[in-house]
Amino acid sequence: MRVAAQDALLAQGAAPDLYLVHTVKKGETWYSLGRAYGLSPKDIAARNNMQMENGLSLGKQITIPLNKGNFVQSKDAAASSGVRPVYHHVGDKETLYRISLRYGKVPLDNVREWNKFTGDGVQKDAMLIVGYVKGTSNSIVQTPPAPTSTPPAEPVTTASTPPPAPVTTPAAATPTPAATTPAVAATPAPAPENTAPVATTPAPVQEPVATTPAVVKQETPATVVESEKQSSSLGRTPVIPDGGFEQTYLQQTNNGRDITTEKGPGTWFRSNAIVGSGKYYALHNSAPRGTIVKVTNPLTGKSIYAKVLDAIPQLKANANLIIKLSDAAQEALGINEARFYCELRYDEK
């Protein structure tokens, strides 16, 4: 089972008794919690005075300890893989020095480096990174894809049945399907020669003829889909039926009728999303994780559909932003500037 990541990881308590609070989602187990937060499931259960045999209740709040085993506060922690930032909500009259003492005397330079600022001043209600918790964040956010090994298996098996067709029908019409059949199955050319002496029975002459056109019909739409993917321009998710989030957006918004709209500035964050895949991602403060947001550039009229992964970090550089988009969407929206104006539509559940 996968563990649903929390909207923001807010540290609680004070060193040496630091912890996070996780609200149990559907399908989560002690083991998935352990993988998500880099801890032994037994340690989490013991911290909560619970028995692993009893399982987890939906909506229950679980205390996640932060210790030397899963809480990293080195200056280069942000560059490590498999970690997520842990935040501190700045209170009234709090200073950077007091925050440092609360989190185990973390070096002030480390806090400045993680949050990209200089000096000692911090603002009330700001969200400061005070360390990083271990855990496979990518596997937590994304759901496991459905197996894709079975669809290609069907063309291979169906392609193995038509070879008797060229042998049993000596008419001029059958050699044409024989040429296309090896192309669909991606098998070497000698395949028809091997089947020729085997399928010399005159009885099943009509059955292979009936199945041969079926293979040809399956080949035509398959190649059309491929050609659509290749000819589609970057970011036009409606042209990519299995690569974008448009269908999910339509389901979430009742075909565009139940929507919330926003207008304002946005900016980019680096991501490993593939340019032109139609799959783009976003950070947004009010839309729940998993929400599909339609982002439109009003200057060009171009739109993309982006999946919300998390909230926008409360940093000075992100002030007044309504969205942060993965940089793979720049060309799709026709935007070259680091900061841009956009329109958002989504279902705010």
At residue 35, does pLDDT exceed 50?
yes
At residue 198, does pLDDT exceed 90?
no
Residue 63 pLDDT level (bands cut at 50, 70, 90) = very high
pLDDT (0 to 100) of residue 125: 87
Q: Which of 41-50, 150-159, 324-333 has the lowest mean pLDDT?
A: 150-159
At residue 206, does pLDDT exceed 60?
no
Residue 131 lies in a domain: yes
Residue 3 lies in a domain: no
* Sequence-ordered list of residues with C-beta below 8 angstroms from that of 245, at least 6 positions apart, any chain: 237, 278, 279, 280, 292, 305, 306, 307
pLDDT (0 to 100) of residue 76: 92
DSSP letter for each residue of 126-169 = -EEEEEEEES-HHHHHSPPPPP-SHHHHHHHHHHHSSTHHHHH-
Q: Is the model more confident about 300 or about 2?
A: 300
Residue 108 pLDDT level (bands cut at 50, 70, 90) = very high
- Domain boundary among the residues 141, 173, 188 is at 141
Residue 1 lies in a domain: no
pLDDT (0 to 100) of residue 171: 44
Average pLDDT (47-72) is 92
Average pLDDT (297-311) is 92
pLDDT (0 to 100) of residue 264: 92
Q: Is the model more confident about 248 or about 145?
A: 248
- Are 304 and 277 in contact, with CB atoms under 8 Å apart? no
Residue 230: left if φ>0, alpha if ψ -120 to 50, beta else—which one? alpha
Q: Is the model more confident about 312 or about 146?
A: 312
Residue 94 lies in a domain: yes
Residue 137 pLDDT level (bands cut at 50, 70, 90) = low
pTM value > 0.85: no
The one-letter code for the residue type at 105 is: K
Give the CATH number of the domain where residue 52 resides. Answer: 3.10.350.10
Average pLDDT, the chain: 75
* Sequence-ordered list of residues with C-beta below 8 angstroms from that of 160, at least 6 positions apart, any chain: 185
Q: Which of 87-101, 164-178, 237-251 has the lowest mean pLDDT?
A: 164-178
Residue 225 lies in a domain: no
At residue 138, does pLDDT exceed 90?
no
Residue 175 lies in a domain: no
At residue 135, does pLDDT exceed 50?
yes
Counted domains in the chain: 2
Q: Tell me: do 131 and 250 sit in the same domain.
A: no
Average pLDDT (67-74) is 93
Q: Which of 68-72, 117-121, 183-187, 326-330 has the lowest mean pLDDT?
A: 183-187
| CA–CA gap between residue 88 and residue 86 (Å, rounded) | 7
Average pLDDT (83-93) is 91
pLDDT (0 to 100) of residue 218: 41
At residue 59, does pLDDT exceed 80?
yes
Q: Is the model more confident about 119 or about 242?
A: 119
At residue 6, does pLDDT exceed 70?
no
Give the CATH number of the domain where residue 287 resides. Answer: 2.40.40.10
- Domain boundary among the residues 141, 162, 189 is at 141
pLDDT (0 to 100) of residue 7: 56
Q: Tell me: do 16 and 136 sit in the same domain.
A: yes
Residue 217 lies in a domain: no
Average pLDDT (244-258) is 87
Q: Tell me: do 130 and 16 sit in the same domain.
A: yes
- Domain boundary among the residues 141, 167, 182 is at 141
pLDDT, tens digit (0-9, with 9 covering 90-100), for 338-349: 999 999 999 876
Residue 306 pLDDT level (bands cut at 50, 70, 90) = very high
> Which residues, listed in sequence order, are joined to residue 344 by a DSSP beta bridge?
262, 295
Percentage of the chain beyond pLDDT 90 is 44
**Which is nearest to 122 in space by CA: 89, 92, 87, 96?**
96
Domain extent, residue 257, equals 246-346
Q: Tell me: do 135 and 256 sit in the same domain.
A: no
Residue 259 pLDDT level (bands cut at 50, 70, 90) = confident
At residue 324, does pLDDT exceed 70?
yes
Residue 282 pLDDT level (bands cut at 50, 70, 90) = very high
| CA–CA gap between residue 242 and residue 232 (Å, rounded) | 13
Residue 122 lies in a domain: yes
